[in-house]
Every structure is written in C-alpha cells, then in structure tokens.
Amino acid sequence: MRIVCIGGGPAGLYFALLMKRQHPEHHVTVVERNRAFDTFGWGVVFSDATMQSMRQWDPETAEAIEVSFNHWDDIELVFKGRKIRTTGHGFVGIGRKKMLNILQERCLELGVELLFERDVQGDEEFPEADLIIAADGVNSRIRNKYADVFQPDMVMRPNRYIWLGTNKPFDAFTFDFQRTEHGWFQAHVYRFDDTTSTFIVETTDEVFKAHGLDKMDQDQSIAFCEKLFAESLDGHGLMTNARHLRGSAWLNFGRLICEKWSHFNGNSHVVLMGDSAHTAHFAIGSGTKLAIDDAIELTRQFDLIGHDKASIPAVLAAYEEVRRVDVARIQNAARNAMEWFEVVGTRYADTLEPEQFMYSMLTRSQRISHENLRLRDKEWLEGFERWFAERAGAEKAANGAVPPPMFTPFTLRGLTLRNRIVVSPMAMYSATDGMPGDFHLVHLGARAMGGAALVFPEMTCVSPDARITPGCLGLWNDEQQQAFKRIVDFVHHETPAKIGIQLGHAGRKGATKLAWEGIDQPLAEGAWPLISASALPYLKHSETPREMTREDMDRVVADFVAATERARDIGFDILELHAAHGYLLSSFLSPLTNQRTDDYGGDHAARARFPLEVFHAIRKVWPEDKPISVRLSTNDWHEGGNTPEDAAIFARMFKEAGADMIDCSSGQVVKEEKPVYGRLFQTPFSDKIRNEIQVPTIAVGAISEADHANSIIAAGRADLCAVARPHLADPSFVMHEAAKIGYDAQPWPKQYYSARAQYVNNLARAATAGKS
C-alpha cells in the first residue's frame, strides 16, 4: 500500500514506523510543514501503561525514549503555604522535540520517507495514496475540508493558559496554586529532561482580564508569572518558545470530538488520527497518549484484517469502533479534570483545607478512586483518613482502626447518622389506598438492619390525587399514620438506623399504571384528575393536567402541612420535600413544564414561588431540631430546561428558606430528555451545589460500591450517598461493602453476627483463588 501521513507529530510518525516495521513493502511517507528535526513545544507526558504498549510494538523506539525520558512517581501540591506530596502515580515526561526526533530517526531507519517544509493544503495532493492519515493537528485542514462528513464538534473552554518552560528541574509533578487580589492562578509543572520543566500557567478568563493580561505582550506575561510563582521557581526564570504567536500567547483550550473518523475521497481512504480527531485537556496529560494509542490500534487492525488495499474499509471501521470507546473514556476523565480547574477558585480553593483540597485534586477526573489511591500511596491515604475521621468526630475502633470516610458520622441539626449511606427512596408500587403494609415493614426493616445509616420509604403522597400510581404510599389519614408508626418504631427499636420520609405530589405524572404494567402509561380506568404548573401532558397520550389555580395551591399546601404534622407525630427523623423528576413542585421549577404568565411563571424567583410556599409551610410545623432536605432535578437534560447553573440558584433559595440539605438528582422532567449516563454521572451536580452554595448535599446515581462512596465523601463532593438499586439486590449492602474493604468495625445485628466471620472468610478465599 501507499500510505501518506500528513503531519509529523506523534500520531503520524509512530503510525508510519509501525506500519513500515510490520510490512516493509508498504510505501510510507510522512509530510511535515516544519523543517527536519525542528518542532515546537516543551515536554509531553504519558503514563507507564502507554510506555508498556510502546515496548510491545517497537522495542527499539521504546528503548530510545526510555533512556531520554524523566520518570517520576510523586505529585506535589503547593497550596495555602503548605506542600503536600504523594507517590505511586507513574508518569513519563520527555521533551516534545526529543521525542519527535527519536520517532523521525526511527522512521528513517525503517525506510519511511520524510518530507519536510511542505505545507499540505489538501488530500487531493496525493491521488496515488491508498491511505491518507490526517494527523495534521487540532486545526486540521483535511478534517475541515470534509467537515460535513467528519462532523467535528469543537468547544472552546473558558480558562486561559500559557505554555512556558523553566530551567528549574522539578522532582515531582507539581501543582502550584497562588491567590491574587482578583482570584486564583495554578501552575501545572513537570520535568521532562535533566535541566528543563514544562510550566503551564492557567486561570479563569475573569481573573486573566482583571490583571490586564489580555493587554500584555509575551515578555510582560512571563514577568507576571515569574513574580507570581517566584517561591516555586526559586530564582529561575520562565521561557517561551511561542514567539510565532501574536500577542500574549495565552490560549483557550478547544475540546474536539468527531462524529466520524474516516472517509473515501474517490481515490484514497482518509482517516483522522491524534488531535485532528479528538483532544483531551492537559489536566490529565493524555494528548500524546491518545495519539500513540491511535497509531497502535490502527496498526493492530491491519495485522488482524489484512495489509492490503481491499481490507482498508474494514480496518478503518474496526479502528474507529475500538478507539471511540477508549477515547470517550479518556475525554470524559479529561473533561472532569478540566472542569475542576475551571472552577477551582470559586468552588474549592477558598473553602477546602489543604488535606481535602489535595484529595479532591487527585480524584478530579473520577478515574482515580479511594482504593486506587491506597494502592498508589497507602501511607498518605491512611494519614488523610485519620485527618478526615478526626474532623468528622469519628471514634476509632477498639483495635485502633480509623473508619474510611463513608463510615464516619454526620450531623444535621439534632440528627446524627452513624455513617454516610442512605437507602434512597425507591417506588415499590405495593401499597393499597396509600397504606404501607408488611412488605414495607420487611423491605425497610431489612435495609435498616443491613447497615445503612438512613432509610427512606418511597415518595409518600400527601393526598389521594397526589399519587403516581394506585400502588403508591400515602400519608393523609389516621390508618396510614398508624401503619407508618409500626415501621418507624421497628427501625428505631431494632436497629441503629434513622428513618426519613419524602413527601411529594405527582402532579401531571400521576394516575399511571404500576411500573411492571407499563411505566408512565395512563390508567385505563380509575384515573383521577391531574393538576400541574401548566396544562401540558407528560406523554402525548397522557391525561392533560389542569393548570393550578390559587385555590388548588392553597389545598396542596394544606395537604403538605397535614402530612408533615402526621410525619412529625409518627417520629420520622428527617423530612425530604420532593421537588424533582417532573412531579408537581418540579413542574413549577422547570421552564419546560411551567409556561405560566402570572406570578408563578417566568424567572427563577417566580418559578420557585410556589415550591417555596410549600417549604415554608412545612418548616413551620416540622420540629426545629429535625432537618429538612429538598430533592432537586439538577439537570433537565433537555434544551431549554434547567441546567446545573439553574439548580444552584434554586438550591440557594431553599437554603435561605431554611433547607438543611439538597438531594441532587436529575432528569425525568420531560420524556424527551437525553441524559449522559456514566460512572457517578450525577455526582458533579452535588459537587457544584455543595461547594458553591455551601449547603450539605446528597449524591445519587450509579453509586454501587464502597470505593465510590469513599471517593465522593472524602473529596467533599457530597455529605451523604444515596444508594438505590444495589440496596434492592442486597439489603445488607453496607455490611458487605465494609467487609469487602476490610473495615471490621461495622456492626452486624447480634442475631446475624455468627455469619460475619464466614462471610469475611469466604471473601478472603475468593480473593486468594482469584490470584492463583
């Protein structure tokens, strides 16, 4: 095959040498616009895992890189007059110029043709090529030419950064945070050879402009950074190699993803690789990794399918299918890390102490978890756990063991929970006329005995017409009150758990079938009239609700108050007001479901007016020493709906009204939503509200193991974790997770204690068998 790689960066060069190495008969050319052995940039960084892959695919190149790179395990934080260091992280740093020179020399050894100082304008310049690799960078001309095919999505991020270097050889990957009168700056620093380190300075656009950096030239910007980071630089200066850029050389990062990566232009197959196909923020140092991995995977697919022209379409299809998954994973992690740095000043730096700030920074991508940190640096993590436990008021176990973060106590008003795990309210559809029965007693009792600190029945409806389905719980009469008291008394008398109640009104989502008979589908018979903020049906064929009148509002407020008084008399420990998921109060908050033109529709204050009326009314009759939380949909996942920024506004309103905690869920407001699922996908919403609004939060969504909960609680992304489906599968979820991570101080019910040793021993046997 005739292969042309447009662009002499890591992706193009490495693919060229791999293909030539695998099949020397290929005619492979790399075309680069710069001069031979000339490049720009300071150091690049990638992980030990990427280095291992390179050893497998071309040991000669790997060896040449290994003798030139700087390897380090330590990360150091400089913050608020402190230096905190942790180890075990495994990075490789090498000068970009040195790495490209090694790849160029290896290409020449293998017989790759290198053409320098040729500025390619388009793929049509190579009509004889069977395969064209468009590795021409983030501003790819080839990709832009076929934009209708590749469908690139470029989003420019708000932070400003400048890429500099210094002759101080830092001995750890260093993050230096400095506060000025206008806000925070951070430096990302890593050594890449014996005498030089990359020094990237980043800040928000607001701070950038407040200091007048937008009006400075490069020399003035460098002088500013040298003064700001003088202590870390220790007399060394900062250098630029971006004199070719106009102005101050401060940039905005562009996040790029493409819908498609390959195209047949009539003569040649064209495929994107490296930064022309995708970008990942420098916050996790993955751009070079992605480029190298692209080259390896495309080569691997040729090895698997065939090194001939006829195989190219199948190879490119397989390449894209495999790489898209891994790239999405890396980009998601990079996005999390990037967004952490974009809000670090307003969300973390001003409020977190250095110990927790360090933990938050290390786990910013959500790829590094609590137990992963233990593998990397057990000593540091155990020190952090001791610090966290002391601040939480946790007592050491009899054997001196320090509880992990999820097993520390938490207090709201007069309520103290023994750990941070909540059994989330989950609809069971098993009530008759709103009445809880034996099922609910067993269901909730089992999970209270299973170790959770707080259990909730499903959303409990404040009136018959507030129900979602005929099987939903209610609290509007004496019989229901007595049935609930039986459950609450059991939890209080037989377990150390607390029990809460979540009060709500279904609104336009009411009068539907039980979930297993057709979720969200309207009842064929026995339906009741629906009310909502506006006369909009949930589904096209759902019953259209009546827009609420002032008389309706007064009745609903009275229903909430009456249910709250009953909950108070029963003895529930905490009350949660359900204002999420498109139910009645949520329908007022979201512009997708509130189209009113009166005082209850319009801006945030107007949309929140009625939900706040309900909150004020229940707060007046709920005991002063007991907390109230509010569940919000923190993202409607639909254009024109509420965003996390809107949710933060509502959270502040409820906080000011007296809410003690915000339960941060999302979605289910409109059926046409398009949520982005993933590991801990709703935790960032809790993080935002907790740390920007300074109100305790509950994180929900895809939290399925102790490692997740420990990471969330330790980083300060939430105060409690609500666990739903794992509790359905395992009522003793908390006890079992404690055993899995080796936390021995989690109590078991005395009636079940004899089973504990067997359970722990079985875990040990399974772990031993897995290693053999």
pLDDT of residue 772: 58
Secondary element (H or E) of residue 705: none
Whole-prediction pTM: 0.91
Tell me the residue type at 655: K
Residue 270 is encoded by which pair of tokens?
């064209």
Residue 252 is encoded by which pair of tokens?
């905005």
Handedness of CA 352, 354, 356, 360 (dihedral sign): positive
Spans of the chain, pLDDT less than 70: 37-41, 243-247, 285, 771-772
Angle CA 758–760–761, to nearest 5 = 65
Contact of 675 with 667, CB cutoff 8 Å: yes
Catalytic residue ranges: 583
What backbone phi and psi angles, to 5 degrees, belong to 659?
-65, 140
What backbone phi and psi angles, to 5 degrees, belong to 724?
-105, -85
pLDDT for 665-706, tens place per residue?
999 999 999 988 877 889 999 999 999 999 999 999 989 999
* Coil, strand or helix at 678: coil
Q: Would you give the end-to-end CA distance of the chain in angstroms?
A: 46
| Diameter of the chain measured on Cα atoms | 88
pLDDT of residue 39: 56
pLDDT of residue 285: 67
DSSP string, 409-473: -EEETTEEESSSEEE--------BTTB--HHHHHHHHHHHHTT-SEE-PSPEESSGGG-SSTTS-
Calculate the alpha carbon distances from 119 to 7, 32, 123, 427 in Å. Answer: 9, 7, 12, 63
Alpha-carbon distance of 144 to 132, in angstroms, equals 15
Tell me the residue type at 353: E
